[in-house]
Amino acid sequence: NGKSYVVLTIRFLEFQVVYQSSDSVPVMKSGKEIVMDQSMRETDLQPPTGEWLDIFGNGRLKKKVLQPGGGRDSWPHHGQIVKIHLKTRLLDGTLVEELPEFSFTLGDEKVIPALNVALQIMGMGEKAIIQTDGRYEYGTRGNLYPETPLKAELEVKLLEATDAPDLKLLSPTEKIALATCKREQGNVLYQRGAYDYAIHKYDTALQITKSISKDDISSQEEMMEVQVKCLNNMAASMLKLEHYDEALQCCNSALICQPENVKALFHMGKVLALQDKYSEAIQTLCKALELEPRNNTVSTMMKKHREHEAAKQAMDEKMLENPSSTHKHQAKSAWGLSWKWLLGATVVAIGVIALSVAIYARK
pLDDT in tens, 197-246: 999 999 999 999 999 988 776 778 899 999 999 999 999 999 999 999 99
**In this structure, which long-range contacts are made by residues 167-173, counting pairs with CB atoms below 8 Å and at least 24 apart in sequence?**
167/208, 167/211, 172/212, 172/213, 172/216, 172/218, 172/219, 172/223, 173/219
Please compute, for residue 353, the number of CA atoms within 13 A of its CA located in the half-sphere on the CB side. 6
CB 53 within 8 A of CB 64: yes
- pLDDT given at position 350: 65
Does pTM surpass 0.75? no
- pLDDT given at position 346: 63
Cα-based distances in Å from 97 to 61, 87, 219? 20, 6, 39
Task: Give me the domains of the chain, ranges plus CATH numbers.
Answer: 1-164 (3.10.50.40)
Going by DSSP bridges, is the β-strand pair 81-90/95-105 parallel, antiparallel, or unpaired? antiparallel
What does the pLDDT average to over 335-339?
Answer: 49
pLDDT in tens, 110-135: 899 999 999 999 999 999 999 988 77
Q: Residue 159, Cβ neighbours under 10 Å: how many?
A: 15
Q: Residue 298, Cβ neighbours under 10 Å: how many?
A: 24
Measured distance CA(188)–CA(201) in Å, rounded? 10
DSSP label at residue 48 = P
pLDDT category, 153, cuts 50, 70, 90? Answer: very high
DSSP label at residue 168 = G
pLDDT in tens, 34-50: 233 443 344 445 677 88
Q: Is the model's pLDDT at 334 over the cut of 60?
A: no
CB 41 within 8 A of CB 65: no
Measured distance CA(167)–CA(175) in Å, rounded? 7
Residue 87 — left, alpha, or beta (φ > 0 → left; ψ -120 to 50 → alpha)? beta
Residue 75 β-bridge partners: none
Q: Is the model's pLDDT at 166 over the cut of 50?
A: yes
pLDDT category, 186, cuts 50, 70, 90? Answer: very high
pLDDT category, 352, cuts 50, 70, 90? Answer: low
Q: How far apart are the first and last CA of the chain?
A: 131
